[in-house]
Amino acid sequence: MSAEASVIFPENHPQAFNIVGERITLLLTRNTTHGYEIFLQEGPEGSGPPPHKHDWDESFYVIRGEIEFGYNDEQMTARPGTLVHLPGGTVHWFRFNEGGGRMISITGQGSDASQFFTDLGTEIPSAAPDMEKLLHIAGHHGVDFIVDSR
C-alpha cells in the first residue's frame, strides 16, 4: 500500500485542538503518510508541555516567535528558521516566549502523537484540565511526563 500525494491549503486546515492552551493542527497523520506525522503548533506566551518523553523521534521547525527548548540537560532559545531534532526517548519540553510562537513539528516512525492529541483535545477541557485524566491518556499513548520529586 503506497501513500498518495497530499496538498493542504491554509483555508482547508483541519480544526485545531486546544491542548492545555496550545493550538495543535493535525496536518498529516501516519494513516496518510504510512509513517511520520506533521503538525502545526501555535501557542501564547508561557504555553507548552512539561518535561516528557516518548519512543518516537520528533523535530520542530520554528516559523514565528522565540521558543525555549529543554532536552536532557540542555536549554536553548530557538528563533525562526531553527530546527530542533529530538531522538525517541529524549526527555524534552518547550515554552513559547514573549508574544507566543508558531512551529511545524514532525514525528517519526511509530508516532502515536495524532491520536494522543485527538484524545486530549476531545477529552480534556483546556480551561481546567483534569491532570489525572491527562496523565492516564498520556500513558495510554506512550508519553511519560517527568515529575520532579524534589
Mean residue pLDDT of the chain comes to 91
pTM of the predicted model as reported, rounded to 2 decimal places: 0.91
pLDDT at 149: 47
Q: How confident is the model over 104-127, as a mean pLDDT?
A: 89
pLDDT at 150: 42
Q: Which residues contact 69 (CB under 8 A, 6 or more apart)?
A: 60, 75, 76, 77, 78, 84, 92, 93, 94
Q: How confident is the model over 43-70, as a mean pLDDT?
A: 96
Cell match 503518510: residue?
33
Q: How confident is the model over 121-146, as a mean pLDDT?
A: 86
pLDDT at 125: 74
Query: Where do runs of H (alpha helix) occur along 76-130?
Result: 113-123
pLDDT band at 131 (very low <50, low <70, confident <90, very high): confident
Q: How confident is the model over 13-17, as a mean pLDDT?
A: 91
The answer to whether residues 112 and 141 touch, using CB atoms and an 8 Å cutoff, is yes
Q: Which fold has domain 16-143?
A: Jelly Rolls (2.60.120)
Q: Where are the domains of the chain?
A: 16-143
Residue 95 has pLDDT above 70, yes or no: yes
Instruction: Please indicate whether residue 110 or residue 39 has the higher confidence score (pLDDT).
Output: 39
Residue 21 has pLDDT above 90, yes or no: no
Q: How confident is the model over 6-27, as a mean pLDDT?
A: 92
Residue 74 has pLDDT above 90, yes or no: yes
N- to C-terminal Cα distance for the chain?
Answer: 50
